[in-house]
Chains A and B, each alone.
Chain A
Amino acid sequence: DAGVIQSPRHEVTEMGQEVTLRCKPISGHDYLFWYRQTMMRGLELLIYFNNNVPIDDSGMPEDRFSAKMPNASFSTLKIQPSEPRDSAVYFCASRLGRQTAGELFFGEGSRLTVL
């Protein structure tokens, strides 16, 4: 398997523009997580899905952020409008099964810079 695939790897945009980050989880994994990593706040869980259904979006910072998972092989995280404070590395991760000991498999991340 190719692992978790994220795109784009790097995105530079201007404040106010819409940003869409994409994730393809490992085939067969039924949990998908979106995390944001910054120097100040570390690794924050934004939202996670189980079988394509959002389970907990309490980490989404505000209404400018939205996430969807239209099918088992694709998820998007959208920021509209973007702001400089959204600059971060966004990671997608997937996991197999409803188990606390399950390993998360991470993508390589999407580095977002908002000017």
Chain B
Amino acid sequence: GDSVTQMEGPVTLSEEAFLTINCTYTATGYPSLFWYVQYPGEGLQLLLKATKADDKGSNKGFEATYRKETTSFHLEKGSVQVSDSAVYFCALSDRAGGFKTIFGAGTRLFVKA
């Protein structure tokens, strides 16, 4: 079945550091890929998405590129802020999987001032 694997956290960075959170996936079909973010005490919200190979999703300075050849969708940001501290989830949705959305385990990010 479909699955998502992302790097374990927590990740601790200083403000203005470069962020990478790795994500790889397994899917039987041709999935859409997502990054969701969860701030403390809240539900998840969509950060960005990509629907086909080589697409780049971007939002709020975050970017991720759909790499079909490596089955990856790594999240990057050039300069993190304290307000980026949250849990980040990589996810996929696949027609072959019945259109349900499957999430990775989540990676907690702490950004220090």
User: Shortest Cβ distance from A42 into chain B, in angstroms?
Assistant: 4
- Interface residue? B61 (CB, 8 A): no
Chain A, interface size category, equals 20 to 34
Residue from A33, A55, A108, A109 in contact with B101 in the complex, judged by beta carbons closer than 8 Å: A33
Q: How many A-B residue pairs have CB under 8 A?
A: 60
Chain B, interface size category, equals 20 to 34
Binds B, one of A11-19, A68-76, A77-85, A96-104: A96-104
The SS class assigned to the A binding surface is: strand
CA distance A4 to B94 in the complex (A): 23
Asked if A100 and B93 make an inter-chain contact with CB atoms under 8 angstroms apart, the answer reads: yes
A-side residues, CB < 8 A to B, are: 4, 31, 33, 35, 42-43, 45, 48, 55-56, 91, 93, 95, 98-104, 106-109
